[in-house]
Chain A
Amino acid sequence: VGERVAAVVAESRAVAEVAAALVEIEYEELPAVFTAEAAIAPGAPAVHDAPWGYPRAFVKEEQGQNRQSVVEEGSLDAVEAALATSAFVVDETYTTPAVHQGYLEPQACVAEVEPSGKIRLWLTNKSPFVVRSQIADCLGIDPGSIDVQPIALGGDFGGKGSPEDAPLCIALARRVGRPTKMVLRYSEDLASTDARHPARVRVRIGCDAEGRITAWSQDALLDGGAYGGFKPAGTVNIHGTLEPGGYRIPAFYGRSVIAYTNTIPKGHMRAPGSPQATFATESAMDELALKVGLEPAELRRRNLPRTGEREANGREWIELRGLETLEAALSALRRRKDAPPGWRLGIGMSVYCRATPTSTGSSMRLVPKPDGRLRCEIGVIETGTGSHTVARELLAQSLAVPLEDIEVVQVSTDELPVDPGAGGSRVTSSLSMVADQAVKAWRARLDDEPVLVVVEEKGGPPVGSYGVQIAQVAVDPDTGQVDVLELLSTVDVAEIVNEKAHQMQIDGGAAMGFGYACLEDLDESDGQVWSANLGEFKLPSARDVPELKTVLVRGARGVGTANVKNIGETTTPPTAAAIANAVADAVGVRVRNLPLRAERVLALIERSS
């Protein structure tokens, strides 16, 4: 449901809309599946007859019908054995809905096909080089015959990372022999692009009598919608669902199953998979703390690893500062006392550990300008995060010249060899690595010609960054209404290139986490997106967003000579669990299904009394 079935090309939008209204479609209703659970049930109708036969399919026939991707990590046997002898075990299942990225600029594409066959695209996409190869792959042409033009994006948050309607626009431009332009209405964007996967995550955590974790299993089932190709990842999976929470875990098992359903395709959104998984695991940690009889902070304190320890899945980290981050959060906490009469206050915390990639494949050109200034050409798009400002500041600092002497421009994909695009919390670290090489080449240059550097850095162990969030809520026990008074984000940081842009990632990330926790739900019951306008799909307004506070735990080790870390995806994943834990603290009920709306909280309160 939501599939494009016909396209109309016209001179104006008005004419196109009239023409589209004349198209009559007869539908024959076929058996369908609208949830991941229904899709993997025995005998479910097949969304695709043989998806394992698709080019570069990630699934195999023996994995079963309606699978997009199945990824496992760790040992289920080891986990079962350890759980069987654990003093305490929590075993709960948590669900999260489909949500849209909520960028305010709808997706759009302009395609121009020259008589030579050369294609020029102006596309709301955050990774021009990646999307160029995706489209070339789709059309069976050489990537070099497509030139993706530089544009600024009106927000991304992961949603602008797939080709969307570009192949259609190209096909139509070829057909009519003129450039074509397609701009989605926001309602169309909500009901047809690449929302965050709805998830059901079963979490089992065991610990000994002192609260030390013995085993950890997270089993995620996600609704991937009707197509897998909207996720630009090699395994089609979203690996945030397999992250083991940043704790010391002797026995770990993670499984992430993405199912095909007859709903809109799901894609990437800010830390793909992590908000779903972290809501589940950090809620489960509080449920475990209750069983053991420990304060939630104490249970976490006993299980956060030190530098040098490996992560459960064997991954090494350059440094681990979870404990320092937790203690900094606790000492900054000031308990609120401003509950309305009759409302109950509660506090909840949540921990998240995010990796900064230490690898990149990017390029940069430095061009001397006649006026003595320097022009820096990059392939990184400006999505609004300040990436171009960061590039400028990194160069100005390295070259010891004023900011005004550096001009940063994004150029088209024809004009540079490679860039990974915006995503994976990698832009600042990637830019710092490529700027470092560019400055070295610039210093070593023999004449006043432009300098081009291409950096292919494989990288070593990731740099981890902990984010500890503490939510304070007031809950009205008579109505179930939850007022999130404050979100305190404590973040483990290295050098910060631009303090303001860094802070806005923390604040914007927390606000997005709040929306996910309390407001947003695309509502795909019966397969169709019901919240198909921004009046129904509720983004947080200036009145809704809680007071946002931040503590920076400085002094960490970062990436490259600029010594930087990730920030864009650190404060969204932990928020929902922090708020759910605070609600449990306030009124003693456990919300395991997002969004955490008043009706849901009230029903739980009524059931418990």
Chain B
Amino acid sequence: MRVHFVLNGEETACDCAPDALLLDVIRDLGHTGTKEGCAVGVCGACTVLVREVPVCSCLYLAAMADGAEVWTIEGIAARDPTLIECFVEREGMQCGICTPGQVVSAFALGLDYGQATEEEIRQFMSGNLCRCTGYVTIIEAVRTYLDRR
């Protein structure tokens, strides 16, 4: 089937199977920043924005994104360089596999909340697992981002 969406600000169309996952479709389009982790919607490594809402692209059919705006890490990085600066500055990452999802979720948090308490940040970010850091620097990066924007 033919699916049209706006990917990172650019009109995009592709042919895919009705059961194709958004994750596979955007990766096949060359946007490989989005990662497959758990593949069951738990770890958040594959998080992208669809209609400005963070979704697990490993559970999201590409067909459901028809007509929507989709933002992946590649687009978010260009859309809000401050966010990337905050993750780099606070070293909110180690191996990097969860980082695209963490950044996209942090962006979505910024869309929803002007300010947030530590508890609210942790609650919002709890859908993005990280095995390396113990989360301290990730939460610091998000905190810095909310303060700076």
Contact = CB atoms under 8 A, between A and B. Distances in A.
A383 B94 CA distance: 8
B66 interface: no
A535 interface: yes
Contacts of B135: 507, 511, 542, 545
A122 interface: no
Contacts of B130: 104, 542
B12 interface: no
- Residue picked from B122, B125, B127, B136, most chain A C-beta under 10 Å: B136
Interface in A383-398: 383-386
B25 interface: no
A185 B46 CA distance: 14
Contacts, number: 121
Interface string B90-103: 01001111100000
Interface in A530-550: 533-535, 539-545, 548
A185 B126 CA distance: 22
Contact of A542 (B95, B96, B125): B125
B133 A104 contact: no
A545 to B, nearest CB: 6
Contacts of A540: 129
Interface stretch (A151-159, A217-225, A300-308): A151-159
A157 B41 CA distance: 23
Interface in A93-148: 101-106
A534 B43 contact: yes
A153 B97 CA distance: 8
Interface string A371-410: 0000000000001111000000000000000000000000
Given A534-B38, A535-B42, A542-B122, A152 B133 contact: no
Contacts of A542: 121-122, 125-126, 128, 130, 135, 138-139
Interface string B45-80: 100000000000000000000000000000000000
A104 B42 contact: no
Q: How large is the interface on A (under 10, 10 to 19, 20 to 34, 35 or more residues)?
A: 35 or more
B95 A103 contact: yes
A250 interface: no
A543 B94 contact: no
Interface string A8-23: 0000001000000000
Contact of A533 (B42, B45, B121): B42
B137 interface: yes
Contacts of A504: 91, 94, 132-134, 136-137
A166 interface: no
B95 A102 contact: no
A150 to B, nearest CB: 15
Contacts of A386: 94
A543 B42 CA distance: 14
A411 interface: no
Contacts of A284: none
A385 B136 contact: no
A500 interface: yes
Contacts of A510: 134
A382 to B, nearest CB: 8
Interface string B107-125: 0000000000000011101
A63 interface: no
A540 B122 CA distance: 12
A541 B96 contact: no
B14 to A, nearest CB: 15
Contacts of B139: 542
Contacts of B136: 503-504, 507, 548
Interface of B: 17, 35-43, 45, 91, 94-98, 121-123, 125-139
6 closest residue pairs by CB, A with B: A384-B95, A154-B97, A507-B134, A511-B134, A534-B38, A384-B94
17 contacts: A104-B35, A155-B97, A186-B39, A384-B96, A386-B94, A500-B91, A507-B133, A508-B133, A510-B134, A511-B134, A511-B135, A533-B40, A540-B129, A541-B127, A542-B126, A542-B128, A545-B135
Interface of A: 14, 101-106, 152-157, 185-187, 383-386, 500-501, 503-504, 507-512, 533-535, 539-545, 548
Given A104-B129, A542-B122, 8 more contacts: A103-B97, A155-B95, A384-B97, A384-B132, A533-B40, A535-B38, A542-B130, A548-B134
